[in-house]
Structure 1
Amino acid sequence: MDPIAHFTRQARYHVWATHRLLDAVSRVSDDDYRKDVGLFFKSIHGTLNHLLVGEHLLWYARFSKGASPLLALDAEIEPDRERLGQALKGGAANWEHLIATWPVERFDGQLDYKTMKGVPQSLPFAATLAHVFNHATHHRGQITAALTALGQPGPELDWVYHLQLEAAEATKP
């Protein structure tokens, strides 16, 4: 398997799923958006902020710059819901461009970084990149469940659905 093609496909799915989720979240009242609905990061807002911290401010910095910022996973980086949504969309779009810059050999290497406690860590590069996308899928699922519990429709986010859409687009004249 070509790791660049594989992770580029995951990055495209990530952008698509982020947009679909945020579109569904936009229909929720601000009270419901910020209400503690029993998620690990309590609310939809808290979970979206966690995604901004984890995916964009921590992991993206580790992969793109070799930096290891010290941030709390539950930090509220962006209190404004519109700006938070834009930051998540922009951050999701960055991954495909970053992946394209890596030589194929990079995926067989290690990612060296420091944990949130400043401890040096070295993990398999490709598996850790897979974690970034898997982590986002996990929290999108939590938010989708919260939407359903709030009486809102949850967006269809299955990767296979995205693959089917891409295949249909590829066959259009």
Structure 2
Amino acid sequence: MSRAELTQRDQDFTVPSIEQLRTGNRSTEVSAGGHGHMPVTVATMSTSATEFPVTVRVFSQRLICSPRGARWARVLTRDHLRDWEVPHDPAERAEQVVAELASNAVRHARVPGRGFKLRLKLDRVAGVMRVEVTDARGERLPAVPHQDMDGESGRGLLLVVALADRWGWEPYAPSGKTVWAEIDLQTLPTRA
């Protein structure tokens, strides 16, 4: 078969959409083109069977190491947490933490030609939202500042400490680091 015939055959072949696969039909006929090819039957599972809820969701995106990249990190976080139906308070806290960590990556860990990575992980079973920002400067470790609170900058990690239930950092090979923060989806009532 010539290259042109292969290309035409590939263009004629249609794959069922996700919606077609979710219709509940036991099978879906898929056209394989009009060049003497037979239709293909794709077996699908019935949706009437018990479906298990999604308990873990993960999103990861590389972003440019600039103020625009930091803004996009916050917007992507807000949009994904809204789509994942995370409750308002933990979502708002996670969005602010991402804004601070992304801003720190841009301000303190910029390497020409290298970006930073945003990763969000929602674990509904554990009841935890984890946010991670990975940058290329492993030698510049995060530290909570002990400076005058009247300064114009330097309070980003103080906000992370205040908003997150847990936070820390870990090395990222070959020379970077990942700063992470975890936010509990439900806060336990405190005893009086």
Determine if the TM-score, normalized by the shorter chain, exceeds 0.5: no
Structure with larger Rg: 2
Name the TM-score, length of structure 2 as normaliser. 0.26
Higher helix share: 1
Q: Which has the higher contact order (CA 8 A, sep 6+)?
A: 1
Higher strand share: 2
